Amino acid sequence: QPDPFGFVGLTYDDVMLLPAHTDVIPSEADTTSRLTKRIRVFAPLISSAMDTVTESRMAIAMARQGGLGVLHRNLSIDDQAEQVDKVKRSESGMITNPVTTTPDATVAEVDELCGRFRVSGLPVVEGDGKLVGIITNRDMRFVSRFEAATTLVRDVMTPTPLITGPVGISQNEVVALFAQHKIEKLPLVDESGRLKGLITVKDFDKSEQYPNATKDDEGRLRVGAAIGFFGDAWDRAGQLRDAGVDVIVVDTANGDSRGVLEVIARLKGDPAFAHIDVIGGNVATRSGAQALVGAGADAVKVGVGPGSICTTRVVAGVGVPQVTAVYEASLAARTAGVPVIADGGLQYSGDIAKALVAGADTVMLGSLLAGTDESPGDLIFVNGKQFKSYRGMGSLGALQTRGTKTSYSRDRYFQADVPSDEQLIAEGIEGQVPYRGPVGSVVYQLLGGLRQSMFYTGARTVDELKVRGKFVRITAAGLKESHPHDIQMVVEAPNYRR
Ligand code: RVP
Domain ranges of the chain: 12-90+214-374+437-482, 107-209
For residue 219, name the pLDDT band (cuts at 50, 70, 90). confident
Active-site choice (222, 310, 436, 468): 310
- Of 261, 328, 288, nearest to 6 by C-alpha is 328
- Of 31, 5, 81, nearest to 355 by C-alpha is 31
Looking at this predicted complex, what is its ipTM?
0.99
The reply to whether 107-209 shares the fold of 12-90+214-374+437-482 is no
Amino acid at 86: K
**Has 236 been annotated as catalytic?**
no
- How remote is the CA of residue 306 from the centroid of ligand 1, in Å? 7
In sequence order, what are the residues at sequence separation of 6 or more whose Cβ sits closer than 8 angstroms to the Cβ of residue 289?
283, 300, 302, 328, 329, 330, 331, 332, 333, 340
- Of 375, 495, 370, nearest to 432 by C-alpha is 370
Q: Which of 38-47, 157-166, 222-231, 338-347 has the lowest mean pLDDT?
A: 157-166
For residue 94, name the pLDDT band (cuts at 50, 70, 90). confident
Query: What is the average pLDDT value for the chain, to the nearest integer?
Result: 94
> Residue 92: what pLDDT?
65
Q: Which CATH number fits domain 12-90+214-374+437-482: 3.40.50.300, 3.30.300.30, 3.90.1170.50, 3.20.20.70?
A: 3.20.20.70
Q: What is the reported pTM?
A: 0.87
Tell me which of 352 and 205 has the higher pLDDT: 352
pLDDT in tens, 462-480: 999 999 999 999 999 999 9
Is 344 marked within a binding site?
Answer: yes
**Has 412 been annotated as catalytic?**
yes
For residue 35, name the pLDDT band (cuts at 50, 70, 90). very high
> Residue 93: what pLDDT?
66
- How remote is the CA of residue 308 from the centroid of ligand 1, in Å? 6
What is the C-alpha separation between 399 and 390, in angstroms, rounded? 14
Mean pLDDT of 305-319: 97
CB 143 within 8 A of CB 156: yes
Architecture of domain 107-209: Roll (3.10)
- Please say if the pLDDT value at position 96 is more than 80: no
In sequence order, what are the residues at sequence separation of 6 or more whose Cβ sits closer than 8 angstroms to the Cβ of residue 497?
434
- Please say if the pLDDT value at position 214 is more than 70: yes
- Cβ of 427 less than 6 Å from ligand 1: yes
For residue 172, name the pLDDT band (cuts at 50, 70, 90). confident
pLDDT in tens, 389-415: 999 999 999 999 888 888 998 999 999
- Cβ of 58 less than 6 Å from ligand 1: no
Tell me which of 118 and 444 has the higher pLDDT: 444
> Residue 404: what pLDDT?
80
pLDDT in tens, 410-458: 999 999 999 999 999 999 999 999 999 999 999 999 999 999 999 999 9
- Please say if the pLDDT value at position 61 is more than 80: yes
